[in-house]
Structures are given as structure tokens and as C-alpha cells.
Structure 1
Amino acid sequence: MTIVDGGESPSRLEGKISAMIVCWILGFGSLIAWNSMLTIGDYYYNLFPDYHPSRVLTLVYQPFAFGTMSILAYNESKINTRRRNIFGYSLFVASTFMLLVLDLATSGRGGLGSFIGICAIVAFFGVADACVQGGIVGDLSFMLPDFIQSFFAGLAASGALTSALRLITKAAFEMSNNGLRKGAMLFLAISTLFEFLCVLLYTYFFPKLPIVKYFRSKAALEGSKTVQADLAAAGIQTKDDHHEQNERLSNKQLFIQNIDYALDLFLIYVLTLSIFPGFLYENTGEHKLGTWYPLVLIASYNVWDLISRYLPLVKFLKIESRKGLTIAILSRFLLIPAFYFTAKYGDQGWDDIARIIPGINKWSPHSLCNDCST
């Protein structure tokens, strides 16, 4: 592979800070749609009190995300990464907008038909998530570790900022007629616009940054075929020299080498999704805060989720042993009795503490798994 437009050395390239900001925004955008569904759960519980929205929507979302990710991973070397990521963000835009359209078309009425429609849209969220998160991480793995860190920082910030935005919109419309619905609709509209911003940034701005062009050109020289469309978008042409290229490991070899990381991530989400969000909405009882209480619990979880994302940056808190990482993740299951007893016997203060702990200990091992595996 020959690059017609030669590159500079990375020390002289411009655009690193801009690229990190864009990566953060792209990370934020890859989860804002799903976090939007979680944080307007109070509205959906008002519409569908008998359908357990937070539990059902999670069960719909995850299989589609996992199935799509598996298919894309199997065919990774044949897939145009640029089209994959643009399709993913565009699907986020369309799906979030469809939530607005569905609510307007039904005038905010509940019923089985509306709930099935929402489930179908959430399935598209899962497909989009698989396209974007895997595609962006794979794309950034050719570049600086700082870019991947920025992307994951955006992922972590998504929950906290969407919770804050949801609390603001709920407060703004609480006293107005049909305020719960108005707040949810404004929230979804803002989310749609932000997803559209991600499409524009990834399509037109990110590929033209000098440092991004350099690393994509370098990846092409090393034999990567998935960056050719990105280079073309930046005005860089490539041609095949038919020289021998380094062969990549097979998917099976990669999986065997990283099977402990795969198991760790599986265990992280098994426990997290058993608590968040369904348990928070349905098993915390009646409290003085009323409909605000689940939102406050989710916000506290997300804030500590964000804080814990940066704990591995503190050297003495970083777990570098793969065995130690697995032990830390397994120790999270010792918290299960705490949730049972706080839900059954504890007051609000103990309930809050019980929600904060998994927020802290989810992202620390999660971020370490991702950082080590990439």
C-alpha cells in the first residue's frame, strides 16, 4: 500500500486537542440515546404502568446490541468502518426522532401498540450502539491512546449529563399542564440534535484533522483496509503495491488471548443490569421525593459512575494484574445482599449509599478492561 499524500511526523502534527474533544463528543453521543430512554423512565412508567418499561426495554436493547456486534466483529476486515460509524450515528438520530414522532402521533397515550413501537425503536438503538462503539474504538485503536481515553470519558459523562438535563427539564415543566410529557419531549429533542452533531463531526470534521490523517495513513501502510474510505474523505489517495503485509490474528486467536477480559465485561454487565435501571424504578418503594426519587437515584449512580471512570488514573488505585482485575469484579457480587436488605428494610439514606457503590466499582474495572484490551 502506498500513500500518495505523504504524512508528517506526529510531533509536528496539529489537531490533537481538537481530535480529543471530538472523540469525547462522539463517546457522549454513542450513549446519549440509550441514557435518554433510562432517564425518561418516569414518563414511560406513567404511560405503561403494567409493562415494566425499564426492565423490558433493557432486555430488548442488549440482544440486538450483542448480536449486531458479533456479526460485525466476525466480518471486521471486510467492513467499511467509515460507513459503519456514519450509519450508526445516523440510526441514532432517526431512532431518537422516531420516539418523538411516535409520541406525537399517539398524543402521548399509552397502550400495547405504543409500547411495541417503543420496543422496536429501542432495538434500533441496540443496532446503532453496536455499530458505533465497536467501530469508533476500532478506528481510534490505530491512533493515540489519548483518543480512546477521551472517547470512554465521553461515554462515562453521558449518564451524568443526561441525568442532570433530565432533572432540569422535569423541574422546568413540573407545574405546567402535562408537564411530565413536555419535559420528556424537550429532552428527546435535545438528544436528537446532539446525535446529529455527532454525524456532522465524524463525517466532515474529524477525518480532515492532520493528526487523524497521519495515523490513518500509517494504518493503511501497515495493511489495514478499513481506513481507505476515511483517507479518501480526507483527500488522500492510496494504491496497492502488492507487497506482503503483516497478517492479523484471527478472531478466534484474539478471543482466546482475551477471554478473561470478555468474561470480566460479561460479569460487570450481568450485575449492573440486574440493578440498573429496573431495580431502581420498581423496587425502591414509596418515598418523600415521589416521582423524583428514581431519577435522583439514577443521577447519583451516574455521577459516581463518571467519577470512578477516572479512578484508574490514580496510580495506586489502578489494578494492573489480570487476575486482580477478575477478583475485583467477582467481589462486586458480594453487594447483592446489600440491595435486598436496603430495599426491604433500609431508609432513603442507606438506599442512596447502596446505589452509589456499584456506580463507583463498575467503571473502574470496566475502564481497565477496555484500556488493556485495546
Structure 2
Amino acid sequence: SFLAGEAASGALTSTLRLITKAAFENSQDGLRKGAILFFSISTFFVLLCVVLYGFVYPKLPIVKYYRSKAASEGSKTVSSDLAAAGIRSETEESRQFERKENKELLRENIDYALNLFVIYGLTLSIFPGFLSEDTGKHSLGTWYALVLITMYNVWDLIGRYIPLIKILNLESRKLITTASISRFLFIPAFYFTAKYGTQGWMIMLTSFLGLSNGYLTVCVLTSAPKGYKGPEQNALGNILVLFILGGIFAGVTLDWLWLIGKGW
């Protein structure tokens, strides 16, 4: 899925950074060489994704199925995709579909939207700024921040697959909200761990931050669209993504607050 792929890209990027650092750490002009290799490999993957999306992805049976399903429910955004793949929708073009307005969708799912805002606002207020600047000095040296960021990305990826286990999939709106709000405990936890804890505790705490971020994101985005038709699901998805972006912006804006008391 998109969410798993997004997390996988973060884990792959972190792994690639570890490889380039290990390969060029002791060489002259190693940082420049590592950066060139990093961006060369990244560019290759981007181009590969463009090719796969343009020529392979539309031909996959599962993609054809869900695009046809969305079109049959009145979604107009997939019409060009279906035409490009050579699929003719059985839905009459003149047929009109009614769907709920965006305001109504937001009102019905305001808790999901705010949960996503809180999840990403809190996560981005800690990751990656705090992990890169305010974790102190430890035996891992310059590797320490990279290890923390890698652990976050890896466990974020793992967390996004946990809801596939039905018994572990959180669907209760109250429980999702409670879990999202409880993540504010990460703020004092990171503060005191950075000040008094060892690197092992910080690595564990960072891993749990990534795990909870990925897990709750998938729980929200898979629970919210249930019960809606294709066009409504698309509209609701756009609304939820807007709140995710708002949370990201709030998080990176608040990230500087960790610098209070450090000479600011």
C-alpha cells in the first residue's frame, strides 16, 4: 500500500545513508563522495518508480479492479486512468452520483482528522530535529543520530504492517483518540531520557515513537473511509491528508522549542 511504501522509502533512505557513511567515512572528501553516491542511487530509484507507475502499475489486476470499482461508484478521478489502461467503464457518463459535501465529511470525521494532526505534529516536533541535535554525546559518536533516525524509520515501517493482523487492528474511535493523545507522554520521556538516560534507552524510545506513528496512521486511514462510496472516500482522503500536512507543518515549527534553555 501507499502508506507502507512511504515508510519503506524512509527505511531505505536511512539504510542507504548508513552504507554511504560506512564506505566513505575515512576517505578524503568522503562526505562529498557519499552525497554524490546517495543522490545517484536515489535518482535511479525515482526514475524506476516513474517507469513502473507509467507502464506496469496500471496493468496490475488489483489496480484495475479498484479503479473500476471506484468508477462504478461515481468517481471521476479514475476515468483517465481507466482509459489509459484500455478499460471501459460500464457506468454511463451521464449518470449523476450524489455524495456528501466536504463540510459534512469533515464534521463526521473530525476526530480522525484531529488525531492525524496530533500524531504528525508530535512526531515531527521530535523527529528528526531533536534526535539530530539534542541527544548528547555517546559511544556511537557521529553514528548516533543516524542510528536513531534509522531505527525510527524501520519501526515506522513495521508499525504500518501490524494492523494487517486483525486482532491487533485498532478500529474503535475512542481508543484511537486515546492512543493519539497519550503520545504526548513522549515529550517528557524524550526530555528526561536525553538528559539522564543511556543511548540504549534513547534507541528504544525512538523505536517506539516510529512504531506508534506508523501503527496509528494506518489505523486511522483504514477506518475512516469505511461506509462511504468511492467519491466520498476520495474526498475524505484528501481532507485527512490536509490535516496530516498541517500536523507536519506544526511539528517542524514547534521543533525549535527543544532549543529553549540551550543558549536561545
Q: TM-score when scaled to structure 2?
A: 0.78
- With a CA cutoff of 8 Å and minimum separation of 6, indicate the structure with the bigger relative contact order: 2
Of 244, 257, 263 in structure 1, the residue corresponding to residue 114 of structure 2 is 263
Deviates more, 1:220-229 or 1:269-278: 220-229
Distance change (3 Å), C-alpha of 1:287 and 1:237: same
Quote the residue 2:172 is aligned against: 321
Given that 1:170 and 1:184 are in contact with CA atoms closer than 8 Å, whether structure 2 keeps it comes out as no
Distance change (3 Å), C-alpha of 1:214 and 1:328: closer
Distance change (3 Å), C-alpha of 1:209 and 1:359: closer
How far the C-alpha of 1:238 sits from its partner, in A, is 6.2
Of 50, 71, 74 in structure 2, the residue corresponding to residue 220 of structure 1 is 71
Q: How does 1:7-156 map to 2 (within 5 A)?
A: 150-156=1-7
Of 215, 226, 247 in structure 2, the residue corresponding to residue 364 of structure 1 is 215
Q: How does 1:323-342 map to 2 (within 5 A)?
A: 323-342=174-193
Q: How many percent identity over aligned positions?
A: 64
Kindly provide the CA deviation profile for residues 29-81 of structure 1, in whole angstroms up to 9, marking residues without a partner as x.
xxxxxxxxxxxxxxxxxxxxxxxxxxxxxxxxxxxxxxxxxxxxxxxxxxxxx
Of 191, 203, 206 in structure 1, the residue corresponding to residue 57 of structure 2 is 206
Distance change (3 Å), C-alpha of 1:218 and 1:301: closer
Quote the residue 1:177 is aligned against: 28
How far, CA to CA, are the matches of 1:188 and 1:308 in structure 2? 27
How far, CA to CA, are the matches of 2:197 and 2:111 in structure 1? 36
How far, CA to CA, are the matches of 1:247 and 1:211 in structure 2? 26
How far, CA to CA, are the matches of 1:250 and 1:357 in structure 2? 37
User: What amino acid sits opposite 1:252 in the alignment?
Assistant: K
Kindly provide the CA deviation profile for residues 158-195 of structure 1, in whole angstroms up to 9, marking residues without a partner as x.
22222111111111111211112211221111111111
2:208 alignment partner, SS class: helix
Given that 1:304 and 1:360 are in contact with CA atoms closer than 8 Å, whether structure 2 keeps it comes out as yes
For the pair 1:277 / 2:99, whether they are aligned, the reply is: no
Given that 1:280 and 1:297 are in contact with CA atoms closer than 8 Å, whether structure 2 keeps it comes out as yes
For the pair 1:247 / 2:101, whether they are aligned, the reply is: no
How far the C-alpha of 1:206 sits from its partner, in A, is 1.7
1:310 alignment partner, SS class: helix
Given that 2:71 and 2:91 are in contact with CA atoms closer than 8 Å, whether structure 1 keeps it comes out as no
How far, CA to CA, are the matches of 2:52 and 2:203 in structure 1? 38
Tell me, which stretches of 5 or more residues in structure 2 are unaligned?
Answer: 226-264
Tell me, which stretches of 5 or more residues in structure 1 are unaligned?
Answer: 1-149
Q: Aligned residue pairs: how many?
A: 225
How far the C-alpha of 1:211 sits from its partner, in A, is 4.2
Quote the residue 2:153 is aligned against: 302
Q: State the superposition RMSD in angstroms.
A: 2.0
How far, CA to CA, are the matches of 2:179 and 2:88 in structure 1? 47
Distance change (3 Å), C-alpha of 1:353 and 1:217: closer
How far, CA to CA, are the matches of 1:328 and 1:307 in structure 2? 18
User: What amino acid sits opposite 1:194 in the alignment?
Assistant: F
How far, CA to CA, are the matches of 2:89 and 2:203 in structure 1? 56
User: What amino acid sits opposite 1:159 in the alignment?
Assistant: G
Given that 2:18 and 2:146 are in contact with CA atoms closer than 8 Å, whether structure 1 keeps it comes out as yes
Kindly provide the CA deviation profile for residues 211-268 of structure 1, in whole angstroms up to 9, marking residues without a partner as x.
4334433433432221221122123456984644321221111111111110000000
Distance change (3 Å), C-alpha of 1:226 and 1:289: same
Q: How does 1:156-171 map to 2 (within 5 A)?
A: 156-171=7-22
Distance change (3 Å), C-alpha of 1:204 and 1:316: closer
Q: TM-score when scaled to structure 1?
A: 0.56
How far the C-alpha of 1:282 sits from its partner, in A, is 0.7
Quote the residue 1:350 is aligned against: 201
How far, CA to CA, are the matches of 2:69 and 2:76 in structure 1? 11
Quote the residue 1:126 is aligned against: none
How far, CA to CA, are the matches of 1:165 and 1:271 in structure 2? 26
User: What amino acid sits opposite 2:86 in the alignment?
Assistant: G
Given that 1:222 and 1:245 are in contact with CA atoms closer than 8 Å, whether structure 2 keeps it comes out as no
User: What amino acid sits opposite 1:176 in the alignment?
Assistant: S
How far, CA to CA, are the matches of 1:312 and 1:215 in structure 2? 21
Given that 2:7 and 2:156 are in contact with CA atoms closer than 8 Å, whether structure 1 keeps it comes out as yes
Distance change (3 Å), C-alpha of 1:308 and 1:218: closer
